[in-house]
Structure 1
């Protein structure tokens, strides 16, 4: 029985550790990296609180060291997907009825476990499985995931407190129920934080979840699942399955209890899912919630008044951190001709200082791209540019997949603002620059707005405040997250709610209340203390 109202104040963002030489966190992380590499992990699915193994296993190998086997996961079949749905629905009523402070305690404990006992585990798993350096793993799999868990508890507590006004003799209240059915979470390889947030944000609201991570993120996903179980997550609330994506979609989207999808991935896949859901709409008990973040072709607009060093740093970090495998990565830059030579000279000099190699060597800024399929796709763009008169590779352009999927940070300069690498999402360490007439600032903004189908992130770099104001207004629909004098990456939970529109997704802003509203179904309740006993109104009287 509840005997009080529970408030969860806004937390502070989790501090980012430095991993400097000799630091305790560096020593612990190095030890955990060695421990993971010393064993071969046997990774089951988690369905209804049970570990599920099959006769069909798939190996997991570090993208930067493909000769080493980290472990294998057990691939599921249609029967396992159906079992996950059944387990979720069986857990639904009890989970939905659990007191909020009890649910909140699970996720807050998970955050603290990640911040302490399992920090090195989740970071090491991300470094090895997804080829992230120590810093990129720290800001993702530790800090951002911890922030999602803590801030979402705070945001949800604030939503629960929002209540309607009451009139004399009447009391009104709103209940925020979970959706009627199960939520499907489909998560990407590139961020362990996203992989953890998509199922837990829905579950925190009282929903039950079937979670399908990308195969190349499973090594870290199973670490997070173990943390959630240790934190007290009841059986069946989140069911972690590894199976073919289209098969999972076919089964889940045909189920009458399908209540919503939380997705991060490609635009094409999301549009296909939306179409399938629409075709099956007559089957469902309720209209499903469709929430997705689907990619970007993110821009950096440099004004003639920009500081060159700020520009160079924004491009170097924005385009090449985590090998450009961020939905928000800077992939097209518009540079004014008055600054172009100086910016290119300094940027190319910076690229020469970037070391590339394994994640275990902490001096490497660049690591490997995620897999052979990504490697082949990215390098085709580079090869085509090397043979196209409208483009010139001015930095990088070399690649090798003999030991790992390594692509040197590459810069393409084009004379065609509509060139293919200015339009299409590459998702790799490739930046394309276009030099424009410094006096044609307003014209280039129209080019930026119309070149790509995406609208995820973008930035303006300028010292002229009128230019900043004009770009902010003119590019209002070009980016869901817009940055001033900074790279277009690095959104922090609670500070910059993240999401884009157009082909970049539904803009439901992870890291804010906006996302959590999608996983709630409100019920309004009116109670009249002294009800009327006569249907007649005063206006009916003659006198």
Structure 2
């Protein structure tokens, strides 16, 4: 959208939430003293500016790392990692529990930073606080159990003693995205750190202060600062250097970049964890509670202005309830309040920047030009902020419209009516992605049956995304082109370790002995194997 178009754009229908009297501003929050404190120790010999989406203006100047700075950061983390690994796991876990308390005590600080750097509504920023606290609590309590040495039955019971140990990989390289700059940076690094690894993180520069705040709080909670290094800079410059030096790579971002990282890491035989894109579907069955489904769809589609990899972009509604659902959903969407204040009250914040605004505008305009109907939204809101776009509901979307299959990553959802359950499941699965999905029905058994047929890493019944994501004991991740590996639960920490099997043979060797020749030994072992099967040994 050009400047002239923005000035003449219609204001739309969504109201603007008033800012409370005395509301804080960016100048109140991001002071030179705060920037100096948070960037202390960042490996960077240059300077780069970062900007806030509420106004588009510069927030601060930050260090900019070179490839040589990345190498220095890894050297520091690698020197500190063995000392950290030697700390008993219960003491490492205690750092996470102290961090948990500090996050909740000082949450106003991080909420301000998240809002200023991402443009989110404050309640959506609080989702990050919740997620980080949950992860810290879980791994702070469960890490000793996840990492505890395990005894296994050996090749010959009693004679072979086998122990499975978990060893940290070394130094993990983490490349974090801009859309959840606290949760997908520091929140994701907690299991890697408590497992005994060093870590070098590259957060997105535009949201770096949120990640740096989390690192600063971890150090305050007792983490040795050298263990956790941060580098900043342009992704194409700094990102490949992180992959080149890392012993394991954790990445959240686009599928295109994820492929490149997987190829680079694979060439070095280094493991990766990738959470990538999604085109997530929500299915409203004919027996759903339509009012609850409409309210849930607002949460599922428009959290963080739709800039959430697990948010819903495709709404499939059974034709028997479609008119009722659409009426309720559209009314709720049009009533959402837009706002920029560092306070609760707004329902929707800003897009992150011009690139996201361009994508959203292009998807909507192309769909309308090819026959889609706008039921709500469909326009930018420069009267609120430079990158605001109204929550938008489309109907009549079909291939080859870009919004039909491509990830929009904005406050845009398309409604599709269906008649047959088998056909809608096939439609929901007809995408290269497989990250998250949602099913709404009054029949829990039916919901689970439908969930079993959906090819997504998480499925939520009667909610959009929060229950599966917030259940941190269970794995979360994507199928197909939505990624590799999982976060949360046992998989979320064990991926940052190498399994080491230690086997001790006692009394007799696994070889001919006691005067047996090869033939007698083979016969003895054959009999032994039959006995072990009969005893149901595993």
User: Kindly tell me: are residues 335 and 419 of structure 1, through their superposed partners in 2, closer, same or farther at Cα, counting changes over 3 Å?
Assistant: farther
The alpha-carbon deviation at position 182 of structure 1 amounts to 2.2
- 2:191 is matched with which residue: 201, 205, 208? 201
**Residue 311, structure 1, aligned to residue 280, structure 2:** no
Name 1:7's counterpart in structure 2: none
- 1:393 is matched with which residue: 374, 380, 383? 374
Name 1:514's counterpart in structure 2: 491
Name 1:472's counterpart in structure 2: 451
- Equivalent residue of 1:42, what SS? helix
Counterpart CA distance in 1 for 2:126 and 2:243 is: 35
The alpha-carbon deviation at position 109 of structure 1 amounts to 1.7
**Residue 148, structure 1, aligned to residue 135, structure 2:** yes
Deviation larger for 411-420 or 77-86: 411-420
- 1:126 is matched with which residue: 108, 114, 122? 114
What does 1:290-329 correspond to in 2, within 5 Å? 290-329=272-311
Provide runs of 4+ in structure 1 moved above 6 Å. Answer: 29-34
Name 1:83's counterpart in structure 2: 72
User: Kindly tell me: are residues 312 and 418 of structure 1, through their superposed partners in 2, closer, same or farther at Cα, counting changes over 3 Å?
Assistant: farther
**Residue 353, structure 1, aligned to residue 340, structure 2:** no
User: Kindly tell me: are residues 422 and 507 of structure 1, through their superposed partners in 2, closer, same or farther at Cα, counting changes over 3 Å?
Assistant: farther
What does 1:97-496 correspond to in 2, within 5 Å? 97-116=86-105, 118-140=106-128, 142-165=129-152, 167-168=157-158, 170-179=160-169, 181-191=170-180, 192-255=182-245, 258-278=246-266, 280-281=267-268, 287-389=269-371, 391-401=372-382, 403-414=385-396, 416=398, 419-436=401-418, 438=419, 440-450=420-430, 452-464=431-443, 467-475=446-454, 477=455, 479-489=456-466, 491-494=469-472, 496=474
User: Kindly tell me: are residues 101 and 469 of structure 1, through their superposed partners in 2, closer, same or farther at Cα, counting changes over 3 Å?
Assistant: closer
User: Kindly tell me: are residues 101 and 37 of structure 1, through their superposed partners in 2, closer, same or farther at Cα, counting changes over 3 Å?
Assistant: closer
The alpha-carbon deviation at position 277 of structure 1 amounts to 2.5
User: Kindly tell me: are residues 100 and 465 of structure 1, through their superposed partners in 2, closer, same or farther at Cα, counting changes over 3 Å?
Assistant: closer
User: Kindly tell me: are residues 495 and 175 of structure 1, through their superposed partners in 2, closer, same or farther at Cα, counting changes over 3 Å?
Assistant: closer
- Equivalent residue of 1:223, what SS? helix
The alpha-carbon deviation at position 31 of structure 1 amounts to 6.6
- 1:57 is matched with which residue: 28, 48, 51? 48
Name 2:29's counterpart in structure 1: 36
The alpha-carbon deviation at position 187 of structure 1 amounts to 0.6
- Equivalent residue of 2:304, what SS? helix
Counterpart CA distance in 2 for 1:90 and 1:300 is: 48
Counterpart CA distance in 2 for 1:138 and 1:427 is: 20
**Residue 497, structure 1, aligned to residue 475, structure 2:** yes
The alpha-carbon deviation at position 164 of structure 1 amounts to 1.9
> Where do 5+ consecutive residues of structure 1 fail to align?
1-26, 282-286
**TM-score, structure 1 length as denominator?**
0.84
> Where do 5+ consecutive residues of structure 2 fail to align?
1-19, 521-538
User: Kindly tell me: are residues 465 and 152 of structure 1, through their superposed partners in 2, closer, same or farther at Cα, counting changes over 3 Å?
Assistant: closer
Counterpart CA distance in 2 for 1:525 and 1:109 is: 34
Bigger helix fraction: 2
Counterpart CA distance in 2 for 1:507 and 1:254 is: 20
Counterpart CA distance in 1 for 2:461 and 2:110 is: 32
- Equivalent residue of 1:210, what SS? strand
Deviation larger for 264-273 or 529-538: 529-538
